[in-house]
Amino acid sequence: MSLAKSVLLLSVLAASSGNALAQKKPAATRPAQAQADSGDAETEMFRPFIYNGPPVATPRLSDGKPDLSGFWQGAREKGVPGGNHGKDQPGFILPLSEKGKRAMIYSQNHTPDPEAVCINGGIPRHNSSGLPFEILQTTDRFSTLYHYTTHRSAAVGPKRNLPPKDQVTKTYFGTNVAYWDGDTLVIETTGLRDSSFEKIWLDENGNPTSDQTTVVERWSRPDYHHLQLEETVTDLKYYRAPFKFTRKWNYGGDGRGVGEYSCNENNVEREHIGPGAGVIGPDGGRGFGYNTPLPKTPPGPDAYDL
């Protein structure tokens, strides 16, 4: 993604402060939906819808389980950097092991952002992305559609064990099992690629992920207009201990979904894409184009005026 486009998308996301709109299934309490201004299709995808009415009940599937389907826009958290799985950690830094620190240094100095050259972000990276995404769900399938013309799918069934890591093919989205725990959909994933010798990052901060990583996602929809995730990542190869990541999204309104996106590895900017995720800017997020990096001793979350 070009710098100009990244700045545009981040500025629109940062402006998001409200909840999204409108129930997609007929109901007596269906809220009214605001009309969006017409404009560029991609910019329009990031325009938030604001719902100020009373809470609307969580929609449910024919089997009574919550229906997580919809178009979801990330809720920006004040005072924390976007795209960083360490946002809930002290100093926004994940508990890297010594091997993990070396892998992190390698990714920052030798590996261009994989998504910049059209490589799948995979899991868990897509869960911290600032881009909207779409969920399509039935009683036995759960699918997520991402703006980078990629998707993943999980078969929903009884709780069962993941296959041994040495018996699965390593991929960007891994091998998963999905099952319900009450009204929470749990997805366990293993069989992921490794940052040390394959083009994959844990998140947009360039944190590493290994072929020993296991990700447990707990998805819930507390009401019609909100989606939330509680995620636990276990990777004792690159991290000293498991760590948690939380995220919330707002419903994006009726008739909306991910737009068309064309990614070409022959991108004209490819030769100008350097390694790493860029410097840490004043807002705590990584990227390129900052005039000054974060001070050597970063301030705490309260210091960020977001």
Report the Cα 64 to chain-centroid distance in Å.
27
Which element (helix H / strand E) includes 10? helix 3-14
What does the pLDDT read at residue 84? 93
How many other CB atoms are there within 10 angstroms of residue 198's CB atom?
16
Q: How far apart are CA 260 and CA 250, in angstroms?
A: 21
Hey, how many other C-beta atoms are within 10 angstroms of the C-beta on 187? 21
Distances (CA, A) of 213 to 94, 96, 132, 193: 14, 13, 25, 9
pLDDT tens digit sequence for 88-137: 999 999 999 999 999 998 888 888 888 888 888 999 999 999 889 999 99
State residue 146's pLDDT score: 92
Quick one: CA dihedral 137, 252, 89, 117, positive or negative? Answer: positive
pLDDT, tens only, 49-73 = 888 899 999 999 999 999 999 999 9
- The four Cα atoms 113, 118, 119, 124 give a dihedral, to 10 degrees, of 70
Can you give the pLDDT at residue 276? 74
Tokens describing residue 271: 């030769």
What pLDDT shows up at residue 12? 36
Low pLDDT (below 70) residues in the chain: 1-42, 264-274, 282-284, 287-306
pLDDT for the residue numbered 300? 61
The pTM score is 0.77
